[in-house]
Structure 1
Amino acid sequence: MKHFIFAGLALFSGLVQAEELGSKTIKTKICFEASDILSDDYRFNQFDQKKCEAGNFEVTEKLYDQTTSELTVLKIKFEFSQKELEVAGKAVAVRTFNVDGNGQITKSWSVRSTNLNAADDRSYASIINQMFDEDFNFGNGDGGVSQVSSSMTLVEVVKDIEQDLPNDEDADGCKYVTTSETKYAINDLSYQADDLGEYIKKLNKQGKVKAVVSRMYDEGESEYCSNFYFRILLEDGTYIYLDLDFTT
């Protein structure tokens, strides 16, 4: 089977008033692309293909081949709801010509580009609580979100985590190290809870994070000292704790 897209041919634009996209096939392909793009976003760990296909799809521009007047390209904008999020995007669908071994030509559509934007108006606490509800097995620990004064300092966060996970008094007991530099503490968090770590990393790039502190065993892995504690303070006073215990 040979595939040809006559992208090199001269095209002319047929600007249209936005009209509904009628092709279920193109909708399905756009939603497959959307699913792939959103697969790395924790908010879409259960992508709903049917809800996507039931969204609004509008053709904003049509491109035709100048020689054959064949409709060749569709520019599409679309939107759909997924959980509490509103997703909007744009896509380009291209007419593909397939030639089989007998010289027979069939035509189909392929989606060549998809851009998405997911608007999320929920509070940080709501988003993180959803992650805790869906993603974490608290048989190995505990996690939660509270609201504290936005004037809380890094020193206070460090004091809090060290009180909650103190060193053993015995000389041979568990000794823990505190990491209070945001970059490295987020790396520690991502290693133990990748979805939460990625979300906090994004918030940090947006300037929303005031402090991230991790505390764990000082000498690598230990079956008796495998505690991993994290404290995250956002600029608005949202305070997240995650205490994981893998000791045996």
Structure 2
Amino acid sequence: MSEANLPHVLAVDDDPAVRNLMAEYLGENDLRVTVAANGQELAAALEEYAIDLVILDLRMPGEDGMQIARRLRDQTAMPIIIVSGRLDEVDRVMALELGADDYLTKPFSCRELLARIRTVLRRTAAAQAPAGRPAGARAYRFSGWELNVGSRRLTSPAGKRVELTNGEFCLLAAFLASPERILTREQLLEASRLYDDVYDRSIDVQILRLRRKIEDDPAHPKYIRTERGAGYIFSVPVEKLWGLAP
């Protein structure tokens, strides 16, 4: 599996030795890892990447981990594992009541942390059955590509950011929300927020521009295929990361 398709973990800890240890070990065990030293760096990472799970230390400079966990849970359904040197049961109970998915006491073994991460990710995936899904997706992934809905960032499998116009973003998001399903020009016009008096051939122009940005060969597209007389279809599977803040 390419790195772009691996689950992406954000490890937040003010101790650089702990951050480096987690980054190295988890990176060797089929996870993408981004590290952050504080709440500000965490916010920047969430702006830049579509994160699958956050590992969060309770003892943070400035805004502590409990405040950060509360804010994250208010904004998203993203899984959170709290790590802390505090042995007080009150902290553990409070963290879990805030919505943390697990709590691990320092010092911990990297093997145990990895096992807990995998368990939480499996549980989260199982909980994303249609009846239990939150209102919207916060990110989409397909064939190594990643679209972060909140920041409107499209990242290629090589990790390069691809700039999108507002119309291109809305059009791509519409395709990713309904993969492997034919969408008519009327549906795409509405999704891409074009004016009502725009002739529907403008959708063809936007799709051509979008293909040039994501297709290896725009003349023979593998993602956005034309269905003659019907519309267009996004023809590859899409992974959805749920939990976009309302």
Q: What TM-score do you get using the length of structure 1 for normalisation? A: 0.21
More strand by share: 1
More helix by share: 2
Greater Rg, structure 1 or structure 2? 1
**Looking at both structures, which has the greater relative contact order when contacts are Cα pairs under 8 Å and sequence separation is at least 6?**
2
Q: What TM-score do you get using the length of structure 2 for normalisation? A: 0.21
